[in-house]
Structure 1
Amino acid sequence: MTIENPRKILHGLSRRRFLSTAAATGAGALGAIAMPYLSRAADRPQITHGVQSGDVGADGGVVWARADRPSQMMVEVATTESFGNARALPPIAALPESDFTAKMLLENLPGGQDIFYRVRFRDFAHTDISSEPLVGRFRTAPSDRRDVSFVWGGDVAGQGWGINPDDGGMVTFATMAKHRPDFLLHSGDTIYADGIISSEVKLPDGKLWKNVTIPEKAKVAETLDEFRAAHKYNFLDDNVRAFNAEVPIFVQWDDHEVTNNWSASKQLPASYKERDITLLAARAARAFHEMYPMRESIVEPGRVYRTLSYGPHLDVFMLDERSYRGPNGPNLQTNYGPDSYFIGPDQMLWLKRALLNSRATWKVIASDMPLSLIVYDDAANRKGSEAFAQGDGPPLGRELEIADILRFIKTSGIVNTVWLTADVHYAAAHYYNPDKAQFQDFDPFWEFVSGPLHAGTFGPNELDNTFGPEVKFVKAPGLDKQNLPPSAGMQFFGHVKIEGATGQMTVTLRDRADVALWSTTLDPKPG
C-alpha cells in the first residue's frame, strides 16, 4: 500500500490558581478566537500526523503538531478532560520553512497534575476557519515523592520492517501504552534514514511482510524533505499516534537519523548522491528537531544533550553520542584527544556538573549506545570502532571518557546512577563489577538494554572486560537467526517504576506481548 497523501491515513502554580488564571484569560481569549471549525469544512486546515508532547517537567512541557498548509497553531490547556476553564494560548505560526510543524512550550502549570491540551490550526487568510481539534495529555513532574513510571527503548522502522497492517502495525507502542507511563525515553534510531521501506519482504517461511509505503522511503534520505518524510512515516501508524497523544517523549538520536554508523569521517556508500556527510547530518538534525517536542537550547541551537528532571526521585541525563565524536577508527589511543572523543570535553563537563548538582534519588544516564558491547564500524571485516568498547584490557580510545566519568562519580560520592540504552536490537541486563574489571576505580552500577521497538532483532554482541560487566540477563535470537521481523515477537522495551514512599527502582524487561522477561528491584543508597 503506497500512500501518496498521508492525510488520508489517518513554576508550579497551584491547581486553584491555574484554574482561576484560565477562567480569567481563557474565556476571553476563546471568545476572541471564536474558532467556528464547521465553517467551510472542505477547505479548512488539517492536522496531518497527530499530536505529541515532550520534555515534561514540574511546570510544563512542549506540545507539537503539524498542519497541511501555512496556518497558526492554536492550543488550549486545562486540568480536566472536559476542558472546563480552559486557557487559550497565543497562536504560533506553522510555515513551509518548518514543514508546517509547530512546537509550543506550555509553562506555569501545576506540578504532579494531568494536563489536557487541545490543538487546532487556523487558516492564515480566513481566521474564522480552523481544523478539527485533536486532544492530547501529559502528567507534569511531581513536586512530592509519588510513584514514577516510564518506559524506554529505541530502533523504529529499521531493516525494512515498516508498518504492516496485517501484523497490527507497530504493536510495541500499544503495549507500552497499557502501562500508562509518565513518559517514553526514546534511546535513538527514531528512524532509519538510510533504510528503504519496500512494499513487500519475503519471510523465511515463504510468507510476505507487506509494508505501508510512501514514495520518499523508496531510497535513502538525502534531502531535507526526505529526512522529514522518514519521521512522518512512523507517525502514519495508528499505535504510534495514539501513544504520542497519551505519553510524552524524552528523545535523543543515534546514527540512523543520518546514516549507518555516521561520524564526521564517514565515507558515504555509492547509493548516496550527496557526498558531504556534514551537510547530510545538518539536514538530518534539522528534520529531527522539527519533528519532536524538545525543549531547544538557546546556548547551542540544535543541542541534544540536556537534563530532564521528573520529580524528587528522578533526573534523566540525555547524552548525545553522535555530534561530538571523533572518527570511527581503531580508537586504541592511550591518551585522550580529538580522535578518541565520543561525547567530547564540553558534554563531559556538563554531565559531571549535572550529576554533581542533582538532588534526585536516581540519576538515569540515557546513553544511546551500551558501554561494553563491541560494535564494529565494519561488521563484515570486524574492523573499526562504532561504540565505546575497544576489546578486553585497560581503557583505550573512547573508553577513556567512560573511565573518567566513572571515577568522577565515585570520588564525588554520587550514588544511585543507572545507565539505560538501546541500539543493539536485543534485551539485556549488565551489572558492572569493579572486582572483575581491568579498570577498577569505580563503584558498581547497572546498565539495562532494550529495543528494538519496531525493527529487526539481532545479537547478542561480544562484551569486553574493561569495566567488568556481568551478564545477568540476555534475550537475543542467536547468531544463526539475525534480523528477525517484528512478527517473530522479539521486540523489546524496558519499564521502570520508582516507588514514591521507599524510592525503590524496579526495572523490568518486556517483549511486545507484554511478557515480563526479567526484573530486578534496586534499593537506593543514601546520598
Structure 2
Amino acid sequence: MEQESGSGIGRRSVLRGGALASAGLAVPSAGLTVPAVLSASGPAVAQTRSGRPAARWGVQVGDVTTSSALVWVRSDRPARMIVETSATEAFRTARRTYGPLIGPGTDFTGTAALRGLPPGEQVHYRVLLADPDDPRRTSEPVHGTFRTAPTRRRQGVRFVWSGDLAGQGWGINPDRGGYPVFEEMRRRDPDFFLFSGDTIYADGPLTGSVTLPDGRLWRNVTTEEKAKVAETLAEFRGNFRYNLLDQNLRRFNAQVPAIVQWDDHEVLNNWYPGEILDDARYTEKSVDVLAARAKRAFSEYFPVPTLRPGRTEGRVHRVVRHGPLLDVFVLDMRTYRNRNSPNGQPEDDRGILGREQLAWLKRELARSRAVWKVIASDMPLGLVVPDGATDFEAVANADPGAPLGRELQIAELLRHIKHRRITGTVWLTADVHYTSAQHYDPARAAFGDFAPFWEFVSGPLNAGAFPATALDSTFGPERVFMKAPPRANVSPAEGYQFYGEVDIDGESGELTVRLREEGGAVLFTRVLQPGRVGS
C-alpha cells in the first residue's frame, strides 16, 4: 500500500463550503427515505420562497484548462448565480463573474464560465445565489478550490479515473458512510477526475434494503425518483440529484474538477439510437425519446462545456487540453453508434463512433502537441461485452480474425495513429466493473497495421462488481493484470471497488498508471516512457 498524499491547499475553504452545502442533505442514519423537499423536482421546490436562496447540493467544476473552467451550482429557487474567485482563501481581492439566472427550465441548476484564470495556480472560489427580486439578499457562500492546468511542463499532472456509480441496486449506504471512495480519491489531491461514464443508473431502481449472501443487510438511502426506472425528465433529473445527497461526493466536487462522459446507464442498459424497447417496466418505448431527456438532465447536472443547460443539441465528445503534458480526448460511444448486432458485417461505416466523430478524433490527435494523449473511451476495445445471446455491446465481436463490424473503425483509427506517427496514446476506460491492464501488440494480432499501446480499465465506484470478460485477439491484447470477483453483482460491501490514478512527471515526462482498490491498496503499476511506442 502506498502512502497517501496530503489534500493540499485550501482545505479550510473547501470544508467550510462543504459544511454549508450539507445543510439538510446529510446521509440519514435512520428513516432512509429522503424528505420530499430534497428529492422533489424543481418546480415543487421553487414554491418555497421564504428566506434566502440556498445551494444545498454543493458546487462542481468541469473541464479546467490553463485559463478557464466551468463552475456549477443548484439553487432551491430562482436565483442569479454569482462566482467570486481569488488567489487566496481569504478573498481579500476577489474577481466576480455573473452567471445565469437559474430557474425551473434547468431544474434550478446553472453553469458559469470562468475565463482569464492564471495558469498552473490554485484558484479559490465561492458561489453566491442572489434573489432576483432583491439582489442584496444572497445565499451563504459555498466554497471550492481547483488548480488550473500548467503552461510549464515541469509542474506535472496527476488525475484519477473511474466509472459506474450506484448501479445494480447498490446506492448510498449510510452504514458505509455513503460513497467512501470519493473521500479516498479526494485525499489523493488529484488535478482532476475523469468520470468515465455510467455516472448514474437511470434503469436501476433502488429498494430500502438488500440481503447480502452472508446474511448482512445492505441499506439504501432512497428517493421517489429512484423507486422506478427513469422515463420522465423529472425522473432523470432525480437520478443525477440522488448522488449529490452523498457528503463525500459533494466534498470531492468542491476540491476536484471533473471531465465527464456518458455511457449507457445514463439512459438504460446497452442502448443504441433508434431502439424500441420490449421492456414492461417502461411506458415510453422509444429510446431516442428517453435519451434526449437523459442528455438534457446530464447537461444540467454536470459542468460540461458543449452541453450547456438548455442546449440539448450539444455533443459529449471533445478534447480537454491540460497543458503541454496532456490532452484528454473524450469519446461518445453511444450517440452515433449503429444497432447492437452479431457485429460481423464486412463493411461498417457508422460503427461505434460515427463517421463525424471518427474524423474529428483523427484530426485532433494529429493536431495535438501534448506529450501524452489520453483517449477516454467509455467502452473497452478488446474486451468482449455481449448483449444477449448473439449480439455485442462494445467493439469486440469474439471473432479472433480480421476486423469486422465496429472493429473496422478502430482499425482505421489505429492505422491513422501509426502512419501519422502520433505518439503517447493511452486508452482509459471503465464499464465492465472490474480492473485490468491490457497491452495491444501487432505481433499478436490478426490486424497488424498499428503501433503497440496500452488500455487500462477501472471501476466500479459504488456498483456491482462482475467477473472478467474474454479477450478478442483481433488487435492482439494481452491481459497483463486483472482483478475481478468470481461471481456476478458482488456488492461494494464485499470489495472489488476500483479507481485508477495517473501521474505524469514534469521533469522526465514519464507517465505512471496505478490501478487502485477502495481502501488505498495499489494493485498494479506501469510506467510508460514519453515518445516511445508501446512502452
TM-score (norm 2): 0.89
Aligned to 1:48: 56
Q: Percent identity?
A: 52
1:467 aligns with 2:455: no
| Correspondence list, 1:105-504, <5 A | 105-145=113-153, 146-268=155-277, 269-296=279-306, 301-338=313-350, 341-378=351-388, 382-391=389-398, 392-478=400-486, 481-504=487-510
- Partners of 1:241 and 1:353 lie apart in 2 by 36
Distance 1:104 1:177, change over 3 A: same
**RMSD over equivalenced CA pairs, Å:** 1.7
Deviation at 1:336, TM superposition (A): 2.5
Residue by residue, what CA displacement relative to the aligned partner does 1:315-364 show, whole Å, maximum 9, x if unpaired? 000000000000011121111234xx210110011001100000000000
Residue by residue, what CA displacement relative to the aligned partner does 1:292-322 show, whole Å, maximum 9, x if unpaired? 0111269994200000010101000000000
- Partners of 2:258 and 2:444 lie apart in 1 by 36
Aligned to 2:33: 2
Contact conserved, 1:187 with 1:251, CA < 8 A, in 2?
yes
Deviation at 1:376, TM superposition (A): 1.1
Deviation at 1:482, TM superposition (A): 1.4
Q: Report SS of the residue matched to 2:519.
A: coil
Amino acid at match of 2:515: L
**Aligned match of 1:95 in 92, 103, 109?**
103
Q: Report SS of the residue matched to 1:177.
A: helix
- Partners of 1:168 and 1:461 lie apart in 2 by 31
- Partners of 1:353 and 1:70 lie apart in 2 by 42
- Partners of 1:343 and 1:425 lie apart in 2 by 22
Contact conserved, 1:153 with 1:187, CA < 8 A, in 2?
yes
**Aligned match of 2:525 in 493, 503, 519?**
519
Contact conserved, 2:292 with 2:312, CA < 8 A, in 1?
no
Deviation at 1:81, TM superposition (A): 1.1
Amino acid at match of 1:309: R
Deviation at 1:526, TM superposition (A): 6.3
**Aligned match of 1:73 in 81, 85, 90?**
81
Contact conserved, 2:299 with 2:307, CA < 8 A, in 1?
no
- Partners of 1:265 and 1:282 lie apart in 2 by 12
- Partners of 2:304 and 2:504 lie apart in 1 by 24
Distance 1:73 1:390, change over 3 A: same
Amino acid at match of 2:481: F
- Partners of 2:470 and 2:39 lie apart in 1 by 45
Deviation at 1:118, TM superposition (A): 0.4
- Partners of 1:400 and 1:224 lie apart in 2 by 36
Contact conserved, 1:265 with 1:328, CA < 8 A, in 2?
no
- Partners of 1:499 and 1:405 lie apart in 2 by 28
Deviation at 1:266, TM superposition (A): 2.7
Deviation at 1:190, TM superposition (A): 0.1
Amino acid at match of 1:136: G
Deviation at 1:4, TM superposition (A): 2.4
Contact conserved, 1:4 with 1:215, CA < 8 A, in 2?
no
Distance 1:486 1:401, change over 3 A: same
Deviation at 1:108, TM superposition (A): 0.3
Amino acid at match of 2:374: V
Amino acid at match of 1:345: R
- Partners of 1:302 and 1:137 lie apart in 2 by 27
Q: Report SS of the residue matched to 2:137.
A: coil
Deviation at 1:48, TM superposition (A): 2.5
Contact conserved, 1:192 with 1:256, CA < 8 A, in 2?
yes
Contact conserved, 2:39 with 2:224, CA < 8 A, in 1?
no
- Partners of 1:449 and 1:526 lie apart in 2 by 21
Deviation at 1:216, TM superposition (A): 0.8
- Partners of 1:440 and 1:45 lie apart in 2 by 60
Contact conserved, 2:299 with 2:312, CA < 8 A, in 1?
no
- Partners of 2:243 and 2:51 lie apart in 1 by 26
Amino acid at match of 1:294: V
Residue by residue, what CA displacement relative to the aligned partner does 1:154-209 show, whole Å, maximum 9, x if unpaired? 00000010000101211111111111000000100000000001110110111110
Aligned to 2:3: none
Contact conserved, 2:206 with 2:222, CA < 8 A, in 1?
yes
- Partners of 1:92 and 1:477 lie apart in 2 by 46
Extract unaligned runs of 5+ from structure 2: 1-31, 41-48
Residue by residue, what CA displacement relative to the aligned partner does 1:451-477 show, whole Å, maximum 9, x if unpaired? 001100002001110000000000000
Amino acid at match of 2:205: I
Distance 1:297 1:167, change over 3 A: closer
Q: Report SS of the residue matched to 1:149.
A: strand
Amino acid at match of 1:270: A
Equivalenced residue count is 490
Deviation at 1:267, TM superposition (A): 3.3
- Partners of 1:135 and 1:66 lie apart in 2 by 14
Amino acid at match of 2:210: V
Structure 1 residues 412-421 or 86-95, which shifts more? 86-95
Deviation at 1:8, TM superposition (A): 9.7
Aligned to 1:64: 72
Contact conserved, 1:164 with 1:209, CA < 8 A, in 2?
yes
